[in-house]
Structure 1
Amino acid sequence: MEITPTIRAELEQYLKQEGLSLSQFGQITGMNRGIISSIVSGNKSMSVNQLDRITEAMGLPEGYFYDLFIENYIIDTPPNMRRIEPFLYRCAELDKLDAIRRVVGTIMDNLLYSPKLFEIAENLFAQGRHAAALLLYENVAEVEKYQHSERLAVCQYRIFTIQIGEDQNRNFHAAAILEAFVERLDETDQLDALKDLANVYRSLRKWEKVDETARKMREKAEIQYAMKHQQKKRECDESKKKLSRPMFVYITYADLLCASVCEAQGDYQQALEYTYAYADLDWVLETDQDALYWINLYKDWAQCNTYMYKLLSGDTCVLLDYVEYIAASKVDKEMVTKLLNVMIAANRYQIDVDHVLKRFETIIDSFVQQGNPSTDMYTRQVIPEQFARFGYELAYYYLYRGSYGVGFKHLMYAMVKSHIINNETYFINCMGLFVKFRTHAVSEFKEKFLNLIEKVWLDNVEKNGSSDRRS
């Protein structure tokens, strides 16, 4: 039978090897002789803070003894959250996820530890230590999967928030799981969860789901907003959990989402009606700075989208006004959306927009360097999808006008972006556009194109576990 080594034995051996007394080692660690003696003799367990001091004094890397700490003081002893909690936080700091996984796996048989682990997960999530928090949320959710609790719903919402990424197929799966838990959330969390779900469905162009989710959000927000402004409820509402934005914003954002659904369906007149609805905010009772910020933001979006829907419906007379509006706007994450609309209209109605592309050339070139580190679901999901679409529309415009070099450059960008976000529709559209104009492609681009196709194929082979049948 293999004997598990102990930290105590390792320390004892080190002291003999270095010829250090307990007092001398205590001075190095900043701990008194009595504590060192109790640890060496086995009469006293140690905290993770004491372990870190000992590890540093021995000249070893941070976390060197963490696996032994789990064996000696967590697995082999009755669970003690006063010892486990600081250890989990320290493992999160050092990104020692395997250690967290082992500890949680050891104690999660007992439901009594679930509330404390959930609390730790929430703190780690707030600190931005999402990988560590995810492990705890997943374990709490697994243990409580039959409890029908609000805590379980919050875990699923946090898991959704952390896991949403570039792969749109995985995002759709994550959204489908969260949907089943939204109604179990606190009323406040329900609004943010529905907003985030709607933005993910919007990036996936699942318009029926966007419409359904937006209407649920509006209904709930209208009820909560009315209750908030009843005199008898005002005192109670002040103690409620804070929303990520003013409550009226969820009502107006539902109108904006419904407008985007109508746009996708080609019903620009109805899209305009929704736009006029969120432009008129005279009913909003809040007058603080945060509220005024959102009111002005919606007025700006309404002006932009009014131009856009008229332009997309064929009213090309508004193009110049729309371009001047874009030029007067600050350069932000919405710039790609505004210019995308120009390109969609240009391709649909064969409009020459060379002057527009020249005017915004620097901004368009910067799109290639754009990232999406934001925690806001719209910025993380909708904007990357629009970058891919914008690249395709640019490629379409230039290729059909005979500007093959720049057209193929944007086509390659759109294909790569579509592959990154795993959007098969855009990727196939790009392939079709290449096939249409392949006779005009230089050999260098053809080689890059074929290399990308092969990479996508091999990625799919690996992902799906199938064989490429090479011998």
Structure 2
Amino acid sequence: MRTSILKSLKPDIIVEMLEMAVAFENWKKVIETADILYQCVQSIYEEWQYHKAMKLPIPHVNLERPLVYYFGLSHLMGGMAHQNQGAYEQARECIYKYAELGWMEDLKEEDNQVVEEFRFLAKTNLYAVDILSGSIELVEEYVAFLQDNLEEILPGLNTILQAALMYHLDVENILHTFAEQIDEFGSYEDAENVSYYYSYCYHLALCYRKYDRLQDAVGLTMQAMHLANQSGNDRNFKKCTALFESLREWATAEQINEYRQMLMQCLDEYETDKHFIVKSINE
């Protein structure tokens, strides 16, 4: 991308675009946008270094976070997208890049805190990528890591459940280990944790279906459907609908009625939105 274009871009606007692409699980767009963010902040950094070397005033750029944060985020988001596409080697390469951001010059205390945060994220995400790519011998070590870092339990259990589906692992003892924390998942309200909780319910439902715990699978599918609807994620809602239909004969009459009500609610919302759009156009 040309330097003139990069200079016109604002890193925080690109971050918003990244977050939107992640919300829609458009992983190709996430990778493209993460690369644009990297190029943008690299251009800013190079310009700062040039002005410093030439003993010129450092150009001011309005940033909400330290510049090192945007470097780390570009690699973090790219790695997340590759991981969700099953491209684990590319994800691992991204992780190595944000595992050590101390190469930047003139880092202040605030910057070093960001470096440490990304170093920690690299450690937990490397566990995830290694386990998902087949190193299941790391699961026990990963569980011990999660016990020491309770804030990582929800995304960590997502990783373990996905690995269980891929590599036929028995995770009942692990779920029992974190039973107290799992009971708290439903109280989370922020968008990131709601998304993780959806994924937890959905993947656990798949595990239960695989091992013929079909009524449990139905209950978790309903919970996942509610969470997908709550977050407005149509793609995930469709996945839950398909999963529920595969389990319909094991659902209770009450669950089927609840399922129908959710579908009717979605239909009503669609018709309301359509009416609003048509009305706005006519006006």
Give the TM-score normalised by the residue count of structure 2. Answer: 0.86
Tell which structure's C-alpha radius of gyration is larger: 1
Give the deviation of 1:462 after TM superposition: 2.4
Match of 1:236 in 2: 57
Match of 1:200 in 2: 20
The match for 1:344 among 147, 162, 165 is 162
After superposition, where does 1:226-305 map in structure 2 within 5 Å?
226-230=46-50, 231=52, 236-237=57-58, 240-305=60-125
Read off the aligned partner of 1:423 and give its amino acid letter.
N
Deviations 1:25-61 (A, max 9, x none): xxxxxxxxxxxxxxxxxxxxxxxxxxxxxxxxxxxxx
Q: Answer yes or no: is 1:413 the counterpart of 2:223.
A: yes
Q: CA RMSD in A?
A: 2.4
Give the deviation of 1:216 after TM superposition: 1.1
With over 3 angstroms needed to count, the CA separation of the structure-2 counterparts of 1:415 and 1:338, relative to structure 1, is same
Cα distance between partner residues in 2 of 1:234 and 1:356: 58
Contact 2:6 2:39 in 1 (8 A): no
Cα distance between partner residues in 1 of 2:252 and 2:198: 23
Read off the aligned partner of 1:319 and give its amino acid letter.
V
Q: Answer yes or no: is 1:389 the counterpart of 2:207.
A: no
Q: Answer yes or no: is 1:448 the counterpart of 2:243.
A: no
Match of 2:279 in 1: none
The structure 1 segments of at least 4 consecutive aligned residues displaced by more than 4 Å after TM superposition are: 183-187, 232-235
Give the deviation of 1:371 after TM superposition: 1.1
Q: Identity, % of aligned pairs?
A: 22
Give the deviation of 1:315 after TM superposition: 1.7
Cα distance between partner residues in 2 of 1:266 and 1:214: 18
Read off the aligned partner of 1:200 and give its amino acid letter.
M
With over 3 angstroms needed to count, the CA separation of the structure-2 counterparts of 1:344 and 1:419, relative to structure 1, is same
Contact 2:214 2:250 in 1 (8 A): yes
With over 3 angstroms needed to count, the CA separation of the structure-2 counterparts of 1:450 and 1:192, relative to structure 1, is same
The match for 1:328 among 138, 143, 148 is 148
Instruction: Write 1 or 2 for the structure with the bigger share of helix.
Output: 2
Match of 2:270 in 1: 460
Match of 1:360 in 2: 178
- Structure 1 unaligned regions, length at least 5: 1-182, 373-379, 467-471
- Structure 2 unaligned regions, length at least 5: 277-283
Cα distance between partner residues in 2 of 1:293 and 1:406: 43
Cα distance between partner residues in 2 of 1:289 and 1:406: 49
Deviations 1:328-367 (A, max 9, x none): 1142xx5432221111111222211111111222222222
Aligned length: 271
Read off the aligned partner of 2:246 and give its amino acid letter.
K
Match of 1:436 in 2: 246
Cα distance between partner residues in 1 of 2:13 and 2:224: 30
Contact 1:276 1:302 in 2 (8 A): yes
Quick one: higher RCO (CA 8 Å, sep 6+), 1 or 2? 2
Match of 1:115 in 2: none
Deviations 1:214-271 (A, max 9, x none): 111111111211222342577633x725522221221222111221222122110121
